[in-house]
Amino acid sequence: METNFIDNENQAGFEPSDSGGEIKIISAIDRQKRALALPQAVKLFGNLFVENELCILAGDNGAGKSILAMLIADATSSGKQELLGLKIDSGSIKVLFYDLELSDRQFISRVKDHVFHHNLSFAQCTGETLSFTEIKQATVATGAKVVIIDNLTALSEKNTIDQDAALKVIRGLNSIKRESGVSILVIAHTPKIPPGIELTTNQISGSKKLTDLCDSAFFLGKSNQGQNIRYIKQVKTRQPDWVNTFS
The residue type found at 236 is K
Distance separating alpha carbons of residues 201 and 211, to the nearest angstrom: 7
Q: Is the pLDDT of residue 14 over 50?
A: no
Mean pLDDT of 31-39: 91
88 and 81 in contact (C-beta within 8 Å)? yes
Task: Say if residue 151 is preceded by a cis peptide, omega within 30 of 0.
Answer: yes
The 10 Å Cβ neighbour count of residue 27 is 11
Q: What pLDDT is recorded for position 151?
A: 85
67 and 117 in contact (C-beta within 8 Å)? no
Distance separating alpha carbons of residues 35 and 39, to the nearest angstrom: 9
Mean pLDDT of 129-146: 93
Q: Is the pLDDT of residue 131 over 60?
A: yes
Mean pLDDT of 241-246: 52
Write the pLDDT tens digit of every residue in 165-210.
888 899 999 999 999 999 999 999 887 777 667 788 887 877 677 8
